[in-house]
Amino acid sequence: MKQVKQRAFSVLGNIAIVNFADGVKRKGHRSVYPQEGRVPLRGPKALSFGAKKKFAQKILRENKAIKTVLEKSGKFSGRLRKMRTKFLAGEKTKEVLYKENGCVFRFNIDTTYFSPRLAQERKEIAEKIKKDDEVLVMVAGVAPYSIVIARNSKCKRVYSNEINREANKYAKLNIELNHLKNKVELVNGDVKKLPEKLKEKCCATFVEVQKGCCPSEIRGRSARKIKGFPRFDVIVMPRPNLKDTFLKQAFMLSKKGTRIYYYGFCKMEEQNLMVEQIKEEARIAKKKIRIIGKKIAGETAPFKIRLRVDLVVQ
């Protein structure tokens, strides 16, 4: 076990997550190699729970900041992108306390999706937000983008949309933990119904409009006179790897000058195809757009990437 170092597991807040690779040990011989967050073992027999637990206890002894060790037992799956883990050692919890970009987050590893690898992306997007921008974050999860933007920019307000009820529970808690109740507003529900829901929310009563529950372009007007959907200065789309792009809804909530930061997934050689898909969806939505940049925002598998495409509506 001497060869196992910290790279044999990933750390998320106070929790270590071990991804034991397929492979095993043989009697009287054990070979452990830390490789991309995995602990492959050689031999004909599956690694026993006792051996895994022993490895987990070693992690706890050598890393005082880690309180819990879990084993990753499945990939992110389903529309809500949930991960499955098994408890190995330490405090019996799957709730994380995580800090980044001057913000703090709580969430459950199994019931919500969170990627610490996107910490730099969240910071970079926050730096692109201008003073008094009104921002919409679609598919926001436990609100990491929403909160980092609100904390690290001079935006006027951030609207945070998510369908997962458990994620929304933690998003509400995270907004409170970061003292941003006056700057981040949750809009729960299916992103496909978001335009109508935002319209209903902003048009519910004249009082709500006056209080600033919606973008400034419709504040101060009678609810009866409000037509169309609210429009945002910035739309951030950190969407999971799903078939739906949600660009139709984004274009419905955009106006001339709206900047959209869209995250998609493709093979390395298919970047231009994804850009063309975005242009085609804009054409269908009768929106003129200009691509202002693209960036590889991490690898998701060998030769597969998360691609961020920056565009502006003209």
Domain map of the chain by residue range? 6-93, 98-313
Strands 157-162 and 134-137, bridge-based pairing: parallel
Mean pLDDT of 1-24: 66
The pTM of this model reads 0.81
pLDDT at 205 over 50: no
Q: So what's the architecture of 6-93 in CATH?
A: 2-Layer Sandwich (3.30)
User: What is the tens place of the pLDDT at every residue in 283-308?
Assistant: 999 999 999 999 999 998 888 999 99
**Local confidence band at 204 (pLDDT 50, 70, 90 cut-offs):** low
Mean pLDDT of 108-136: 95
Q: Which CATH number fits domain 98-313: 3.40.50.150, 2.60.40.420, 3.40.50.920, 1.10.8.50?
A: 3.40.50.150
Q: What is the reported pLDDT for 82? A: 67
Report for 37-46, 54-63, 125-134: range of highest mean pLDDT: 125-134
Q: What is the reported pLDDT for 89? A: 94
**Local confidence band at 20 (pLDDT 50, 70, 90 cut-offs):** confident
Q: Side chain identity at 99, as an amino acid letter?
A: K
User: What is the tens place of the pLDDT at every residue in 239-275?
Assistant: 888 889 999 999 999 999 999 999 999 999 999 999 9
- Distance between CA atoms of 49 and 226, rounded to whole angstroms? 61
Q: What percent of the chain has pLDDT over 90?
A: 65
